[in-house]
Structure 1
């Protein structure tokens, strides 16, 4: 049994990590931490944890915690991850790993030196639909892949208004915006299917220099992109075109993925409209033929079969196996660093108009 401490238990983890962990026999949530004792106690009671802390350092140091989950704002990841590594604890970090590629590199190097298991939550790597389509391509179902096009909605980022709890992300130093969060997850899911991008030419338009805080009459400055546009080449030689459109409120259509092969074209859209590419199931078609995702791709308990808890549960199963086998899971901090380098290449290309190459 792997004993888990969750930092940030009253936020995103409450509806994703904690349900995923509760469904898995390999794990026991023994401790939670939030920003105050009242919410920590509430989270502990809701999820059956024995220990609740308002100070994350106490959770990290606790002897009944083997693995630390970091699920707070990206700007808070580094300090918590370093503390967990110093304590010799395994670590699962939400994406993004750090606020930029330099911080991600430092954390990946520190995790390697610590000799612990480290993983990052890039849900698309474990999404059943993405894994199935990757296998269809590998099996030659559409012939040689020639071109890829992805159009996806990046709301609630990039619009002319923003939810109050997301205002912090309008500062690029927070590492939480349409490029890092939305495009970051979307591109990771795309690369899970097609293989890696090796070069990009990008644009990051900023349509709104100031945005309205939803529910108020107050506007705030914005220094982050409104949209993410890129063209590139994959390692296979296929071309890729990606457009992530910002907007207000919830996504309406979600995404459309088109994979053009030498023999046929595969298309994918969300089975539930408005669902992000790395979250739910896809409506997959080769020509006019509809393809259902085989059950073999769903390796998590039935009560977490849909949405983020399902893909996060699949990651935790991979982490448990990695701990047993004394190896690194996938995706690890090294995987995260590679994705951070891709985002850095996009930023650099948009800044100077050059083609950038990703190692």
Structure 2
């Protein structure tokens, strides 16, 4: 049994990590931490957890914790991860790993030196639909892959107004915006299916210098992009075109992914309208043929509800196997570092107006 401490248990983790862990017999959540005592105790009581903390370092050092889950703001990841490493505990960190590629590199080096198992939550890597689509491409069902097109909804980032709880992300130093969070997840999923991008030519237009804080009359300064637009080349020789459009509210379309091959085109859209590409099931077809994701692509218990908990549960299954086998899981901090470097290449390309190679 792997004993887990969840830092940030009253936020995103409450509806994603905690339900996923509760459904897996390999894990037991033994500790939670939030920013104040009352919320920590509420989270512990709601999930039947023994220990509640307001200090991530104390949680990481507790003998009843084997693995630390980092589910706080990206700008707070480094401190929690370093506390876990100092205690010799395994780590699962939410994406983004750090606020930029430099911090991600430092954390990856530190985790490697600590000799612990480290993973990052890029749900698209464990999406049954993405796995199935990748298998179809690898099997040659569409012939030779020639081009990939992805159009995806990046709202609520990038619009003329922002929810109060997301205002912090208007500062690039926080590492949480339409490029890092939304495009970061979307591109990781695209690469899971079609292979890695090797070069990019990008634009990051910023349409709003100030945005309205929803529900108020005040505005906040904004230094983050409104949209992410790029053309690129994939390792296998295919081209890629990606548009992640921001806005005030999701349009309800979710995403459109087209994989154009020499013999046929694979098209994927959300099985449930409006779902992000890395969260839920896809409606997949090749030409006019509608395809069903096989059960073999699904590994989590049926009790895990669809949406983020399902793909996150699949990641935890991979982490459990990695701990048992003495190896690193996929995606690891090393995987996250590669994706951070992709985002950095997009930023450099947009700033210089030139093609940039992805390191």
- Normalised TM-score (structure 2): 0.99
Instruction: Give me the whole-angstrom Cα distance separating, in 2, the residues matched to 1:233 and 1:97.
Output: 25
Instruction: Give me the whole-angstrom Cα distance separating, in 2, the residues matched to 1:51 and 1:265.
Output: 52
Instruction: Give me the whole-angstrom Cα distance separating, in 1, the residues matched to 2:195 and 2:291.
Output: 21
Instruction: Give me the whole-angstrom Cα distance separating, in 1, the residues matched to 2:93 and 2:179.
Output: 18
Could you report, residue by residue, the CA deviation over 1:49-84 in whole angstroms, capped at 9, with x for unpaired residues?
A: 100011111101100000000000000000110110
Q: Could you tell me how far 1:118 is from its partner in structure 2?
A: 0.1
Query: Contact 2:125 / 2:331 at 8 angstroms: preserved in 1?
Result: yes
Instruction: Give me the whole-angstrom Cα distance separating, in 2, the residues matched to 1:40 and 1:163.
Output: 24
Q: Could you tell me how far 1:162 is from its partner in structure 2?
A: 0.1
Instruction: Give me the whole-angstrom Cα distance separating, in 1, the residues matched to 2:221 and 2:70.
Output: 29
| Residues 1:303 and 2:303 aligned together | yes
Instruction: Give me the whole-angstrom Cα distance separating, in 2, the residues matched to 1:149 and 1:32.
Output: 41
Residue in 2 that maps onto 1:183: 183
Instruction: Give me the whole-angstrom Cα distance separating, in 2, the residues matched to 1:146 and 1:287.
Output: 16
Residue in 2 that maps onto 1:83: 83
Instruction: Give me the whole-angstrom Cα distance separating, in 2, the residues matched to 1:164 and 1:303.
Output: 34
Q: Secondary structure at the match of 1:303?
A: coil
Q: Could you tell me how far 1:305 is from its partner in structure 2?
A: 4.3
Query: Contact 2:120 / 2:336 at 8 angstroms: preserved in 1?
Result: yes
Q: CA RMSD in A?
A: 0.6
Q: Could you tell me how far 1:250 is from its partner in structure 2?
A: 3.2
Mapping of residues 31-180 of structure 1, within 5 Å: 31-180=31-180
| Residues 1:343 and 2:343 aligned together | yes
Could you report, residue by residue, the CA deviation over 1:140-179 in whole angstroms, capped at 9, with x for unpaired residues?
A: 0000000000000000000000000000000000000000
Q: Secondary structure at the match of 1:302?
A: coil
User: Any runs of at least 4 consecutive aligned residues in structure 1 with deviations exceeding 6 A, and if so which?
Assistant: none
Runs (5+) with no aligned partner, structure 1: none
Q: Could you tell me how far 1:254 is from its partner in structure 2?
A: 0.2
Q: Could you tell me how far 1:259 is from its partner in structure 2?
A: 0.5
Query: Contact 1:147 / 1:240 at 8 angstroms: preserved in 2?
Result: yes
Residue in 2 that maps onto 1:16: 16
Q: Secondary structure at the match of 2:263?
A: coil
Query: Contact 2:154 / 2:250 at 8 angstroms: preserved in 1?
Result: no
Residue in 2 that maps onto 1:272: 272
The number of residue pairs the alignment matches comes to 359
Q: Secondary structure at the match of 1:312?
A: helix
Q: Could you tell me how far 1:207 is from its partner in structure 2?
A: 0.5
Instruction: Give me the whole-angstrom Cα distance separating, in 1, the residues matched to 2:162 and 2:264.
Output: 41
Query: Contact 1:117 / 1:329 at 8 angstroms: preserved in 2?
Result: yes
Runs (5+) with no aligned partner, structure 2: none
Q: Secondary structure at the match of 2:303?
A: helix
Instruction: Give me the whole-angstrom Cα distance separating, in 2, the residues matched to 1:351 and 1:47.
Output: 46
Q: Secondary structure at the match of 1:304?
A: coil
Residue in 2 that maps onto 1:205: 205
Residue in 2 that maps onto 1:329: 329
Q: Secondary structure at the match of 2:202?
A: strand
Query: Contact 1:7 / 1:33 at 8 angstroms: preserved in 2?
Result: yes
Could you report, residue by residue, the CA deviation over 1:213-254 in whole angstroms, capped at 9, with x for unpaired residues?
A: 000111111000000000000000000000000001234100
Instruction: Give me the whole-angstrom Cα distance separating, in 2, the residues matched to 1:225 and 1:271.
Output: 29
Query: Contact 2:134 / 2:194 at 8 angstroms: preserved in 1?
Result: yes
